[in-house]
Chain A
Amino acid sequence: MPVEEASPQAASPPSGPSKAATNGHGSVVAPVAHKTIMEQNGIASHPSHDAPPSMPWFGMDIGGTLTKLVYFEPTDLSEAEEESEVETIKNIRKYLKSNSAYGETGHRDAHLQMENVRVGNHTGTLHFIRFPTSEMPNFLELSKSKGMATLASTICATGGGAYKFEEDFQREVNLTLHKFDELDCLIRGIEYIEDNNMDRECYYFLNPRSEDLCEKVTFDFSDPYPFLVVNIGSGVSILAVDGPDNYRRVSGTSLGGGTFLGLSCLLTGCKTFEEAIELAAQGNNENVDKLVRDIYGGDYQRFGLGGDIVASSFGQMNSAEKRAKVSREDLACATLITITNNIGSIARMVAANEKIEKVLFVGNFLRVNPISMKLLSHAMEFWSGGQLKAIFLEHEGYFGAVGSMLELMRTGELPSCSG
């Protein structure tokens, strides 16, 4: 078995030279210590040497678990423009807009919808749609049935699936995927959404440990740099963003949302993330974990460890008797807490190593998951003595997709990329 197979999750080691990233045109950018994003938001500064790409405008982020789709619906089309629109595009718009669920597994997050945003030379609405990556064949089938293949359009995509499913797109719906680096897209997406949703996008939790006093408070992110981005998808990537055109991938872990869901499925037989989260919310990890007070009878004062701190995750489960008593809910809860705390510790250590105080948590693991968000809020603040702040964003998992759509704006009518 080769060494790499035992290797930790996806990340280049900290403080090393950044990767050789592919830029928007598919060529390779030489590795440099600090990666430069060529243009921040892909619109304003973009030379208008070409007309914007033809509609529809999509951005896609095909992750290990979920595929995220952003669709821009222009609301400023003149009648003439509307007239000239191909019927297919109208149908697609109508289909996407009028539904909030597609098939069995596709969802449109209507509450995240953003009105009156400028993309390219248009004003319109951004729609946010997601479906499990495992449903990609169905998605392609649906696209085909809606006539996507007739449009000969391009779609910008990021995430590993952009590579994995490239041929399927070409074959099934005649779509050429423009592939973009997922971290570039992520950072660009965050900056774009933050700019366009300034007053409501970023927030943090006040008194995260208290049921009564806990409060979601808007965070003023107008002076952002430097900040850490902890992107929790199937796995976790941690990026240090030093400036608008300057970020590094500093760490990551393979213990992410995929681990939570995978373990929950194995432990509880649940099928979906929502189900797992629901179970976790009803469970109690104290029946599963071994707490400091289980070992010490109380606090471990010598080292300032409170009695309710988890000393050993799943530490009680080697006992057959305890295993017999434990509930699915408890197991889901312990899984969620284990994964969340672990991400929290690593994020905190990385932040300390990088001397960064603002930590943005994004990614779909946090969707419908206040338990994790509050845990992370508490962990950041408590273990750092108030130094660190956990910040969350409303559009949790969609930044990569947004970023890739912005890339589309930059590509204009250029021929499809070669690589």
Chain B
Amino acid sequence: MTANLKRKCAQLGEVHPFYLQNMKLTEKVRSMIAFELNCSEMQYHNELPPCPTPQTPVAVSILLQEEWIVDEEEKEELSQLTISLVSQNKQSPLEQLNGSLTSGHNTSKRMSKKINRPGGSLTKIAYYSTVSYRKVLYNAEKDSAASNDGGDYQYESSEIERLHFVKFETKYIEHWLDFIRNHLMCSKESMLGKTIKATGGGAYKFAELLQQKLGLIVEKEDEIGSLIKGCNFLLRNIPDEQFSYSRHEDPEYRFINTEPNIFPYLLVNIGSGVSIMKVEADDKYERIGGTSMGGGTFWGLGSLLTKAKGFDELLQLASEGDHRNVDLLVKDIYGGDYSALGLTGGTIASSFGKAMHHGHGKSDGSPGFSEADIARSLLFTVSNDIGQIASLYAMLHGLRKVYFGGYFLRNHPVSMHTISFAINYWSRGAVQALFLRHEGYLGAIGAFLLGAEECDTEKYSWGENYAGSSGLQSPLPHPPGWPGGTIDQLEMDRCDQQLTFFPFLACPGEYVPDTVDLTKDKEARDYWLSCFEGSLGSFVDRAISSQPNIPDSQERANKFRDKYLQRLHNLKNHPFAYGNLTVRSLLDMREHCLNEFDFPDPYLQQKKMENEYALKLLKKHLAMVDKLEYNERQEVLVRGFLAGNVFDWGAKEVVKLMEHGLSFTEAGDKLQKRPWLHDDLDDWLNRQQQGPYKCAIIFLDNSGCDVVLGIMPFARELLIRGTRVVLCANSKPALNDVTAEELIMVMKQVALVCPIMHEHLEAGTLCVRESGQASPCLDLSRLPLSLVDELVKWQCDLVVVEGMGRAIHTNLLTSFTCDSLKLAVIKNRWLAQRLGGEMFSVMCKYEAGSVKTSVVSTATIDNVPVPQL
């Protein structure tokens, strides 16, 4: 059918969603592109690298945005243009380009020079691709057709759906139009008569060019919808997407986790002018106002009053000036403060108020201010005004959150600071100015979503790929072959399911997984950054040894090392680059980088070996446990749980022990003597005197002894007492953590050893579920919707969280409405000492479920002996 279909597509020039979906099943031939172009000098630059044969386009939609910019050179006027292009393309050339964009750049020196300079007029491209990766086959005997890399390892090719958003200087725009034409479209003829959705004046200006280049007819469409769609998408899917900014605070950036309910909010789009939208739901929004003082005013007046060429030179000039020479300050009128009104002398009483005594052509001397001073005053004037008007609208409509989009801000510190200050000032703190890490992509993302509705983008959750994304103030260098400059890039991977919040969080709106924010804690940041750097070598070795028969593994492992190292170094200078810096984000970034270089599971062999080893001991261990009387057994089970947790390949000090061979009993002996660092064991044992739980979910950690000898007996006891048990393991590999797929294999073996477990597995009262995570940590705001539904149905009343990553680096301070047990062995000397303990200190934290209230979290912090963590 495929060949026919393709031909048909070529004839029709577009494809019915039905076909597209079918194609998805049969061929991985999709690539979607959305462009958002700001403006252009329309100059030809170096040619792009040669690309594969043109393919047939499947569907095209282009969205031209309301706000358009006329470049200072005035050669051409171009609108912000967003093109979503669904094309039929086996190996997207953009994908190849992307490969070169993301493969290990080691040019941090060159980057740092560029860091605080916002780019020129920017072009944004959004495209959708299917990326192939190696994926480990866990059930090897079942699939003999898969490629065999060498004895123990078997991989198949697997795909992930990925959204790419690239932003670069607009001077290459025509390049890109040609690029689309040459590589993503079959011929101009095939596009003839097709229509493009467009909006704004740019639509008119651009129509001709588009028709000439691409053969497309422009049709008007609204743009604000796409902005809002993009904003909602980011707020829902990117953790730490939003942040508040204050230049004089440490940290400057304060990130906010995703919230269960993102509405209502005010979206202020600062383009040439300013539009202010009130957003109450996905499909409920209105433009409630705006102001004509916007980016165009800054640019226009700036061009009249200074010699700066273009928006960015103006911003640069503004950062060099001193507005106090141009603005009339309170002290210029009062001679000092106006204390009756609480106004300090430095407050601006009248913008440009000093300029009136210095008209041009005045012969008597210099005006007393420079062009830079004018630019700065202008930036303050416009930013303050927007902030004031936004806060007035927010207050009038009772909204607390104001987000900003549009080309004006570009995460420029002075502007963000001024707007934040104004909003805070005029609303007396009632309204908060919030900025988005990916502010520049709102329109492109929204346009993509509008153009890609048949791809069900919104039915899935997405996650940021740290390996492929650039951070705040940390652009990536241009790929080889490009004429220079930097690009910004965001990559989002589609999760297999829709993710949502754990239903038994005491305060889901305030949930932050991480215990320590390293952006705020320099000592911890320095330690962890050097710790991750120090252990990198062993990860590289591990990665290489996991693919012994694949020839380029050494090369890829080196690329992995370079890339991760570069990220660590960048984070030293820009800890805020990817949101709050946490141990979790460092761990996740390492996993993402490993994946990027096709090391899906470096611990595969280790995990398998350890599971097999532990399974051999299970029968004897269960027999030992069964001999104990009830009370003693409860305690032994917890101790066994903890002993198992010692087996952690992520902890470099334990690795040394394990490399020399470590038995389960020895591990148990390593544990801290009671009382533990945090010791709620007695409370837990007392709770075991009462009736059983209805349903328990256990978030698992390591493979081997941990899951087999630690968890299985513990879970078995719960089952015997009549509790339904959900074993929740990672969806994708991370370190030596057990994955759900592996766990299923393990459970088959466990069932052979233990009839009780077998029975419950059969009955469904014991089950394995994916956690939706691919991290050594646990983000309880991103669990599979299907799991959450089950937990609610089964009335889950106990959550057990295991290990350093899940119960200490994350979730240590989290309160639940159900009972919770957090068990972990601290296997990092520095962390143990920071918490006031020694190596192998034990965290045993049992808490009865709390009432849903926002006060709980503070109370919880007080109970933990580690508030200074």
* B248–A254 CB distance below 8 A: no
B310 CB contacts on chain A under 8 angstroms: 318
- Give chain A's interface residues, CB within 8 Å of chain B: 2-16, 19-22, 63-65, 134, 159-161, 163-164, 181, 233-235, 249, 251, 253-259, 261-271, 288-290, 294-297, 302-303, 309-323, 331, 338, 341-342, 345-346, 349-350, 352-353
* A317–B385 CB distance below 8 A: no
B297 CB contacts on chain A under 8 angstroms: 312-315, 338
Interface size on B, as a range, is 35 or more
* Contact of A9 with B350 at beta-carbon distance under 8 Å, contacts A267-B304, A314-B297, A318-B70 already known: yes
* B273–A315 CB distance below 8 A: yes
CA distance A235 to B389 in the complex (A): 16
Residue B1 at the chain A interface, CB threshold 8 Å: no
* A314–B300 CB distance below 8 A: yes
* Contact of A266 with B340 at beta-carbon distance under 8 Å, contacts A313-B292, A315-B272, A353-B395 already known: no
Residue B384 at the chain A interface, CB threshold 8 Å: yes
* Contact of A235 with B336 at beta-carbon distance under 8 Å, contacts A297-B204, A312-B292, A314-B296 already known: no
Chain B: CB-nearest residue to A300 = B66
Chain B: CB-nearest residue to A133 = B333
B303 CB contacts on chain A under 8 angstroms: 317-318, 320, 323
CB distance from B779 to the nearest CB of A (A): 35
* B341–A11 CB distance below 8 A: yes
- The answer, among A15, A161, A295, for a CB contact under 8 Å with B66, is A295
* A160–B392 CB distance below 8 A: no
A318 CB contacts on chain B under 8 angstroms: 69-72, 296, 299-300, 302-303, 310-311
The 5 closest A-B pairs by CB, nearest first: A160-B333, A314-B300, A317-B300, A258-B350, A262-B352
* B301–A263 CB distance below 8 A: yes
* B344–A4 CB distance below 8 A: yes
Residue B251 at the chain A interface, CB threshold 8 Å: no
CA distance A318 to B737 in the complex (A): 57
Pairs across A and B, CB under 8 Å, 15 listed: A6-B384, A163-B335, A235-B328, A254-B327, A258-B328, A258-B350, A258-B352, A258-B356, A267-B304, A290-B273, A303-B275, A310-B273, A313-B300, A318-B300, A349-B393
- The answer, among A251, A255, A297, for a CB contact under 8 Å with B201, is A297
* B333–A64 CB distance below 8 A: yes
Known: A22-B340, A163-B336, A323-B304. 12 other contacts (CB 8 A): A6-B380, A235-B350, A254-B350, A262-B350, A267-B304, A310-B273, A313-B297, A314-B299, A316-B300, A317-B299, A317-B301, A346-B388
* A311–B204 CB distance below 8 A: no
Chain B: CB-nearest residue to A315 = B296
Chain A: CB-nearest residue to B422 = A8
Residue B381 at the chain A interface, CB threshold 8 Å: yes
CA distance A3 to B302 in the complex (A): 23
As a 0/1 sequence over residues 224 to 250 of chain B, the CB contacts with chain A under 8 angstroms (1 = contact) are: 100000000000000000000001100
* B348–A64 CB distance below 8 A: no
* A65–B356 CB distance below 8 A: yes
Chain A: CB-nearest residue to B303 = A318
* A271–B359 CB distance below 8 A: yes
* B328–A319 CB distance below 8 A: no
CA distance A163 to B272 in the complex (A): 41
As a 0/1 sequence over residues 276 to 297 of chain B, the CB contacts with chain A under 8 angstroms (1 = contact) are: 0000000000110101111111
* A164–B335 CB distance below 8 A: yes
B827 CB contacts on chain A under 8 angstroms: none
* Contact of A15 with B428 at beta-carbon distance under 8 Å, contacts A266-B374, A317-B301 already known: yes
Chain B: CB-nearest residue to A5 = B346
A259 CB contacts on chain B under 8 angstroms: 350-353, 381
Chain B: CB-nearest residue to A263 = B352
CA distance A270 to B358 in the complex (A): 9
CB distance from B536 to the nearest CB of A (A): 40
B381 CB contacts on chain A under 8 angstroms: 254-255, 259
CA distance A5 to B250 in the complex (A): 19
CA distance A89 to B324 in the complex (A): 42
- The answer, among A164, A234, A265, A294, for a CB contact under 8 Å with B359, is A265
* A160–B334 CB distance below 8 A: yes
CA distance A331 to B303 in the complex (A): 13
CB distance from B406 to the nearest CB of A (A): 11
* A249–B341 CB distance below 8 A: yes
CA distance A418 to B353 in the complex (A): 32
As a 0/1 sequence over residues 355 to 382 of chain B, the CB contacts with chain A under 8 angstroms (1 = contact) are: 1111111000000000000100000110
Chain A: CB-nearest residue to B327 = A254
A5 CB contacts on chain B under 8 angstroms: 323-324, 346-348
B389 CB contacts on chain A under 8 angstroms: 345-346, 349
Residue B443 at the chain A interface, CB threshold 8 Å: no
CB distance from B374 to the nearest CB of A (A): 7
* A265–B358 CB distance below 8 A: yes
CA distance A316 to B291 in the complex (A): 16
* A296–B355 CB distance below 8 A: no
Residue B326 at the chain A interface, CB threshold 8 Å: yes
Residue B330 at the chain A interface, CB threshold 8 Å: yes
* A267–B428 CB distance below 8 A: no
* A7–B346 CB distance below 8 A: yes
* A341–B66 CB distance below 8 A: no
B67 CB contacts on chain A under 8 angstroms: 295
Chain A: CB-nearest residue to B392 = A349
As a 0/1 sequence over residues 307 to 339 of chain B, the CB contacts with chain A under 8 angstroms (1 = contact) are: 000110000000000011011101011111011
Chain B: CB-nearest residue to A16 = B428
CB distance from A70 to the nearest CB of B (A): 20
CA distance A181 to B342 in the complex (A): 13
* B428–A313 CB distance below 8 A: no
CA distance A316 to B91 in the complex (A): 43
A346 CB contacts on chain B under 8 angstroms: 388-389, 392
- The answer, among B201, B204, B289, B347, for a CB contact under 8 Å with A9, is B347
CB distance from B682 to the nearest CB of A (A): 52
* A254–B348 CB distance below 8 A: yes
As a 0/1 sequence over residues 534 to 572 of chain B, the CB contacts with chain A under 8 angstroms (1 = contact) are: 000000000000000000000000000000000000000
CA distance A302 to B286 in the complex (A): 10
